[in-house]
């Protein structure tokens, strides 16, 4: 049962434009969400997080938006750069899981064209 | 600062051979530890997690096993590899605090079973 879904396996964006990556979840108990970036043959690196008490979190060019009623979060990258080309995973967890069990989406491959 | 190590980086093994992948974490105590697998074109699948020495939880039935002989050491093993065990194996750690900590990933091991 996929509790975190990334329905777009790939996304292509022109350099300088906005990239919007989407993620949906089904478990209403999730209260902490993360985005990871992964290059081929490397481990994912943490990008940005958001807790359910907020609906927006910014870090430089990266902004994560959380819509709890829709069980939806998105990652905005503005402006997109060729170095942003990677696979992006969203992940979610719940405080009741006292062992930091994270559920990952299947990833979206972002290609930023020069 | 904390670091996580995985070895080997790449491994080619014949079907039916044993497997041992090792993961160690430095700079933190009593971390939660995780093994994930990313099969070709797929997302991250949680295989095992551990909240302490000797405490292993399995997420999916498979011919793999995990052990945690020391606080910061996590080992993934198999007695007989299958072709379907090929993939990219990732170890991750997180702090013991519930839900507010991020998972940090190692560099991964590329396993090819022939």
Cβ-based neighbour number of residue B89 at 10 Å: 23
Q: How many angstroms separate the CA atoms of B98 and A95, rounded?
A: 6
B33 pLDDT more than 80: yes
- Element containing residue A63 per DSSP (H, E): strand A62-67
pLDDT at B106: 94
- Which two tokens mark B68? 């945690």
User: How far B20 CA sits from the closest chain A CA (Å)?
Assistant: 19
Mean pLDDT by 10 residues, chain A (114 residues): 88 97 94 92 91 93 97 97 96 72 90 96
* Site of tokens 């079907």: B15
Q: What residues of chain B have any CB closer than 8 angstroms to a CB in chain A?
A: 6, 32, 36, 42-44, 46, 49, 51, 57, 88, 90, 92, 94-108, 110
Torsion of CA B96, B98, B51, B57, to 10 degrees: -160
* pLDDT tens per residue, range A24-36: 999 998 988 999 9
Asked, as a colleague might, if the bond just before A27 is cis with ω within 30 of 0, I would say: no
pLDDT at A41: 82
pLDDT at A93: 86
CB contact under 8 A, B103 and A46: yes
Q: How many angstroms separate the CA atoms of A36 and A59, rounded?
A: 13
pLDDT at A1: 64
pLDDT at B99: 47
Give the rounded percent of residues in chain B with a pLDDT score beyond 90: 64
Cβ partners under 8 Å of residue A69, min gap 6: none
Strand runs (DSSP E) across chain B, as ranges? 3-7, 10-13, 19-26, 32-38, 44-52, 55-58, 64-70, 73-78, 87-94, 104-105, 109-113
Residues from chain B that touch A93, judged by Cβ atoms under 8 A, are 99
Give the confidence band of B23 by pLDDT, cuts at 50, 70, 90. very high
- Asked whether A114 and A15 are in contact (CB, 8 A), the reply is yes
Buried b (16+ CB within 10 A) or exposed e, B12-33: ebeeeeebebebbbeebeebbb
* pLDDT tens per residue, range B73-92: 999 999 999 999 999 999 99
Of B19, B39, B7, B27, the residue nearest B93 (C-alpha): B27
């Amino acid at each position: 049962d996929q509790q975190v879904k990334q329905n777009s396996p790939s996304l292509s964006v022109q350099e300088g434009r906005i990239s919007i990556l989407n993620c949906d979840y089904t478990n209403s108990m999730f209260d902490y969400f993360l985005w990871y970036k992964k290059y081929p043959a490397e481990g994912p690196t943490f990008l940005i997080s958001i807790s359910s008490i907020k609906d927006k979190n910014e870090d430089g060019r990266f902004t994560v938006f959380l819509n709890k009623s829709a069980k939806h979060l998105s990652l905005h990258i503005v402006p997109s750069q060729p170095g942003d080309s990677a696979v992006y995973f969203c992940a979610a967890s719940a405080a009741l899981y006292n062992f930091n069990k994270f559920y990952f989406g299947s990833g979206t491959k972002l290609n930023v064209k020069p | 600062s904390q670091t996580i190590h995985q070895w080997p980086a790449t491994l080619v093994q014949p079907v039916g051979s044993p497997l041992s992948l090792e993961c160690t974490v430095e700079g933190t105590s009593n971390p939660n530890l995780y093994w994930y697998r990313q099969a070709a074109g797929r997302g991250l699948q949680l295989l095992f997690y551990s909240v302490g020495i000797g405490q292993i939880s399995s997420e999916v039935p498979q011919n793999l096993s995990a052990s945690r002989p020391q606080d910061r050491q996590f080992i993934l093993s198999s007695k007989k590899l299958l072709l379907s065990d090929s993939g990219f194996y990732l170890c991750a750690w997180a702090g013991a605090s519930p839900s507010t900590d991020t998972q940090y990933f190692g560099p991964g091991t590329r396993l090819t079973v022939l």
